[in-house]
Amino acid sequence: MIVVMKPRATEEEIRAVEERLQELGFQPHLIRGVERNVIGAVGAKLVELPIGLETMDGVDKVVRVRAPYKLVSREAKEEDTVIKIGEVKIGGPQICIAAGPCAVESEKQVLEVAKKIKHMGASILRGGAFKPRTSPYSFQGLEERGLQILAAAREETGLKIVTEAISLLDVDVVSRYADIIQIGARNMQNFPLLKEVGQSGKPVLLKRGVAATIDEWLLAAEYVMAEGNYEIILCERGIRTFETKTRNTLDISSIPLVKKLSHLPVIADPSHAAGDWRLVTPLAKAAIAAGADGLIIETHPDPQRALCDGVQSLTTENFGRLIGELIPIVGAVGRKMQHYSVQEYYHN
Q: Averaged over 35-47, what is the pLDDT?
A: 82
% of the chain with per-residue pLDDT over 70: 93
pLDDT of 143 above 90: no
Per-residue confidence band for 133, with pLDDT thresholds at 50, 70 and 90: low
- The reply to whether 2-63 and 83-347 are identical in fold is no
Q: What is the DSSP letter of 49?
A: P
Average pLDDT over all residues of the chain: 92
Per-residue confidence band for 132, with pLDDT thresholds at 50, 70 and 90: low
39 φ, ψ (degrees, to nearest 5) = -115, 115
pLDDT tens digits for range 182-207:
999 999 999 999 999 999 999 999 99
- Which residue would you say has higher pLDDT here, 131 or 146? 146
Residues in contact with 47: Cβ distance below 8 Å, sequence separation at least 6, in sequence order: none
Q: Could you give the CA distance from residue 57 to residue 255 in angstroms, rounded to a whole number?
A: 38
Helices 277-289 & 316-332 angle (0-180, nearest 10): 20
Instruction: Note the residue count of the chain.
Output: 348
What CATH number does the domain located at 83-347 have? 3.20.20.70
Residues in contact with 202: Cβ distance below 8 Å, sequence separation at least 6, in sequence order: 175, 178, 179, 180, 181, 229, 231
Confirm if 93 and 336 have CB atoms less than 8 A apart. yes
Q: Furthest-apart CA pair in the chain: how many Å?
A: 66
**pLDDT computed for residue 346 by the predictor:** 47
What CATH number does the domain located at 2-63 have? 3.30.70.1140
Give the Å distances, CA to CA, from 341 to 122, 197, 333. Answer: 11, 34, 19
Residues β-bridged to residue 39: 3, 30
Confirm if 74 and 258 have CB atoms less than 8 A apart. no
pLDDT tens digits for range 299-337:
999 999 988 889 999 999 999 999 999 999 999 999 999
Q: Averaged over 137-159, what is the pLDDT?
A: 88
Q: Averaged over 160-166, what is the pLDDT?
A: 96
Domains in the chain: boundaries: 2-63, 83-347
**pLDDT computed for residue 348 by the predictor:** 43
Q: Averaged over 69-91, what is the pLDDT?
A: 94
Q: What is the DSSP letter of 262?
A: B
Q: Averaged over 44-65, what is the pLDDT?
A: 84
pLDDT of 58 above 50: yes
